[in-house]
Amino acid sequence: MAGTRLDPIDRKILSELQADGRMTNVELAKRVGISAPPCLRRVRTLEESGYIRGYHADVDSRELGFEVQVFAMVGLNSQAEADLSAFEARCREWSLVRECHMLNGEVDFILKCVAPDLSTFQRFLTEDLLKAEHVASVKTSLVIRDAKDEPGVPFDVLEDRINRSA
């Protein structure tokens, strides 16, 4: 199990930073029960090892005027690896696409898109997404409201799983 390669202090550091990435190293060290210098070393090791990919602000898209959030289910007419990779690369270029996930089943990809208004999304849909190479079908669902938007992983579940297997 991947999470077991980290000791409980490393997992606690990750959990605390996931909840609040802006806290000082001194505060983080206090929360995890170690002194500041080894805490900073551990954080740097977690960053270098790829457990921490970066830090960002959780901005409110609606407050910034992005009133429309849409999930687009995309089917391609080819599942050749080169075509799948090309579509993923294209998605990374589209600024309205905030997430892109390859799925198994009847849909090849699900995209999370945000736009300031419906006409901007519609223009993206008709001029970009539907015209992209190998796109065979697109079904969209407009988000009415967010019930939960929790980033990261549930560390409590990880800890329970590790404790059960120990």
Residue range 86-106: mean pLDDT, rounded: 97
Please check the confidence at residue 7 and state whether its pLDDT lies above 90: yes
Q: Is residue 151 part of a domain?
A: no
Q: Residues 6 or more apart from 32 whose CB is under 8 A from it?
A: 9, 12, 13, 16, 39
Q: Is residue 149 part of a domain?
A: no
Q: Is residue 8 part of a domain?
A: yes
Q: DSSP class of residue 62? A: T
Residue-wise pLDDT tens digits, 152-163: 999 999 888 888
Place of tokens 């001029």: 127
CA contacts within 13 A on the Cβ side of 68: 18
Residue range 39-60: mean pLDDT, rounded: 95
What's 91's domain CATH number?
A: 3.30.70.920
pLDDT at residue 106, as a whole number: 92
Whether residues 26 and 75 fall in one domain: no
Give 165's pLDDT tier (boundaries 50, 70, 90): confident
Strand ranges (E), 43-143: 68-76, 97-102, 109-115, 135-142
Please check the confidence at residue 122 and state whether its pLDDT lies above 80: yes
Q: Which domain holds residue 131?
A: 68-142
Please check the confidence at residue 4 and state whether its pLDDT lies above 80: no
Give 145's pLDDT tier (boundaries 50, 70, 90): very high
Residue range 52-75: mean pLDDT, rounded: 95
The total of other beta-carbon atoms located within 10 Å of residue 24's CB is 9
pLDDT at residue 1, as a whole number: 42
Average confidence score pLDDT of the chain: 94
Q: Is residue 127 part of a domain?
A: yes
